[in-house]
Structure 1
Amino acid sequence: MFTFRTLFRSANCGIITNRTYFTVTKCCQNYIKPSPLNQVFTEERNFTKNEILYTSVRQYAKSKDKKKEKGKAKVAINESQLSEVINLESLKTHMQKAVETLKDEYTKHLSVRTNAGSIESIPVELDGKTHTLQELAQIVRKNPKTMVVNMSVFPQAIPAALKAIEKSGMNLNPQQDGTTLYIPVPKVTTEHRENLAKNAKALFIKCRDAVKDVQNKQIKSLKKKDKLSEDLVKNCEQQVVAIANTYVTEAEKILESKQKELLMKN
């Protein structure tokens, strides 16, 4: 049996990945279909059986480059220019206030071990005003496992106090008995730590939204300034967003640090 092999190579040939067999009739054995640029065929003819064997060589594309880091190009902040258009100090003050509030809430409400001090500072909304719990009640520690909140002076504040304690982010579950609230002190378990870490994330989101709210109000105000050119307004908007992002980044770092502390991660 006489056979021969012809290898057609292209500049882009790669690794052989599969072999495909085709039986071709005698009248077509001299006809070879043109191959795509990314394939190479080896022709092997067996004249006794009138067969042609094609070995397909597929050229695989090179692996894709790693995705670039997400985020838009950095915007240069020209504070001198921006100050002529908006009240820059007021903008920064309001954004910084949101970050400081986050720090304060982490310190007061996200301690692994619940204590009277952290409960005393829980904010309670009553009649359109915000009070700390200690302004409305007497708080004592009955034993290592229970905190007692006496609401006899302001019994009308009990529903608001219950809601505030439950939503404090300290993983507390108060129980009411008349004008007295009993608060079981959570055990320091892995689950308790994880719940506190989730609450830390929720407080961060609240902070981030506050910063973005300041940003959006400022941008809305910019768009109302008819005397400014469209390009200047656009540039100032980008700078305001860039400033807001710096405060959000600061808040993210505070969140990361707090979660590591709560979850005991290095």
Structure 2
Amino acid sequence: MAVLKTTQVQLNTYQDISLMATSYAPDTTPTATILYLHGGGLEFGQRDDLPTAYLKKFTAAGIQLFTFDYLLAPEVKIDTILPVLRESIRVMLDKTPHATRVILMGRSAGSYLAYLLLRDGFAADGFVDLYGYSGLDYPEFRMPAEFYDSFPKVLPMNAQALIQRQPLVAGEMKDRYPLYVSGRQFGTWLSQFLPSMRDVAAYSLAPDELGRLPRTLMIHSTNDPDVPFATSEYAVKYLPEATLLPIDHHEHDFDREATPESLAIYDQIVAFITAIPVGVRASA
């Protein structure tokens, strides 16, 4: 396959922190545009985390892809993360006035942010949800999670010491993952990014809100130890045009590395995107 054509794009700033995007362009005129949001529990990760083999599948199919920075918690809460991200996407699309078949795509927490953007009126032709969640009211999110009890304990006071004084838009797993682990071990994860625990409903999609979303492809491990498969089973009941592809896996991010199995799944993502008609863009 050809060498990836990449461009770094300055979008906006928050408290002197630059928010960037990376553009991955096909050799031909793009036939679709993916706006990609990375995972990381809203607390770690970086925009360019997709394996090169996946990126090349998209560009070889004539699809351009933009990967976005967004502000991370707990330094910044979701009521700031979301509008700053929305502005970043607006700037990117203003720079790409002829984008066709706009697809939101997220992994895990990135999918969650995509759900909120779509609920709040972002217009998209399609949505690819990789092991995400449309709401927060699950026992696994609010209580100590059994899976994370097998990890060395990260006491809340030790997690607190990892919080930076300045906002971040990228966080290495080795530095930031303990924050997330602590939140899941002690049932405090939601409080790390919500302004208040009273805001769980405000940052979760109701059935009627899910019913206004565009056509969606959902992919989720049936034995996901992190984000319960039930989150996708719930959403697919109310999404107006959705396909849920269950994966027989015990990993959360089963596509972390490019394997024959994961590459075949990305072939299905490409097929989903290329089958979307032009001009069907929906907004809430």
Give the TM-score normalised by structure 2. Answer: 0.20
Larger RCO: 1 or 2 (CA < 8 Å, sep 6+): 2
**Which structure: greater helix fraction?**
1
Find the structure with the greater CA-based Rg.
1
